[in-house]
Amino acid sequence: MLELSEDYEDLRRSVQDFAQTAVAPVSAKHDEEHSFPYEIVQQMGEMGLFGLPFPEEYGGMGGDYFALALALEELGKVDQSVAITLEAGVGLGAMPIYHFGTEEQKAKWLPDLAEGRALAGFGLTEPGVGSDAGGTAATARLEDGYWVINGSKQFITNSGTDITSLVTVTAVTGMRENGKKEISTIIVPSGTEGFTVEPAYNKVGWNASDTHPLSFADVRVPEENLLGQRGRGYANFLSILDEGRVAIAALATGAAQGCVDESVKYAKERTAFGRNIGSYQAISFKIARMEARAHAARAAYYAAAQKMLAGKPFKKEAAIAKLVASEAAMDNARDATQIHGGYGFMNEYPVARHYRDSKILEVGEGTTEVQLMLIARELGLA
């Protein structure tokens, strides 16, 4: 599947051109100012990137998830903050509505989300819970036809922008007969009384993406804001995460390839002891190994996407892709920084931003350890 069809290749080239001409020139500015790139998001919406995997009836482009992954790879080469804004906006924000929403919910929320006029957050992670999402502590009880939600969430992307329209929240809605928690998902529109978007985090990287902790104090939303079947919230979000790992792997592949591209360019321009540094085996072999990592990462996420689109089980392949690609991004960022020397430590250089940005790729959407656990389980190991 490494050979792209004409339609996929046309999309890839279109996003590549946009990334290089529109995104890259403003990346350093938004990173330094920790400012959200509203103008870039608007342009991505006009290009149809937020609607790539959704049907036209909901404002989408009628494409598929692999098309989204290709776009994420190209954006990830130059600006991970922009790429994660798209990934979270589609994979974590709009996808739950598309997969599990009623026709009324889809009609109400999806067009704006698919056309990039609005963003949505994915309210899963909580303080003190992290990877153990089954340990959800936020609660929601039915009272006079309303869900009353209490609790808090953390590390929620796209939750506090000027165009954020909603956050989907996992909450405990009861207890099962076996004593386990019944976890459901509920749509909470932005601006609902008692729903507070706390001040943004001061992050190591992804400085131009929007990330906040959220708190819910007796937040009341109509009973019909239940997303999907009651008690299926945790299971539904696990399926969303499987898809999301393919998307994150694509983003990470882009970051890994971006480090290769910048290093090749620098190695051809920079001279030392009378020669371009790329002519020295120590540098050329390092870049060759970087290219091999990026290639392997691309092959891994292509394979996962192929099984996903074919309707076959892809949990193991998604975990492998996420594992391989995130480690490739981090390893390549480290090597690219070394190749650039002192310049690699300057934030205006893309490799410096990749060095700061890439670490979260080994943490978000399931840590490296979670991916290893999932792979081992799929192999039949305890």
> In the Cβ-directed half-sphere of 342, how many Cα atoms lie within 13 Å?
0
SS (H, E, C) 157-196: ECCCCCCEEEEEEEEEEEECCCCCEEEEEEEEECCCCCEE
Residue 160 is classified by DSSP as S
Cα 373 from Cα 370, distance rounded (Å): 5
The secondary structure element, H or E, covering residue 140 is strand 139-143
Residue 218 is classified by DSSP as E
Residues in the chain: 382
Residue 167 is classified by DSSP as E
C-beta of residue 156 within 8 angstroms of C-beta of residue 201: no
Q: Where are the alpha helices (DSSP H) in 164-232?
A: none
C-beta of residue 237 within 8 angstroms of C-beta of residue 124: yes
Q: How many beta carbons lie within 10 A of that of residue 35, not counting itself?
A: 13
Kindly give, in sequence order, each residue whose CB lies less than 8 Å from that of residue 116, ignoring residues fewer than 6 positions away. Answer: 41, 42, 44, 45, 46, 49, 50, 51, 89
Marked catalytic residue, from 74, 317, 365, 369: 365
Task: Specify burial of residue 378 (Cβ count, 10 A radius: 0-12, 13-18, 19+).
Answer: middle
Structure tokens at 213: 């902790």
C-alpha 98: how far from its chain's center? 17
Residue 262 annotated in active site: no
Among candidate residues 276, 277, 275, 297, the one with its CA nearest the CA of residue 286: 277
Which residues form the catalytic set?
365
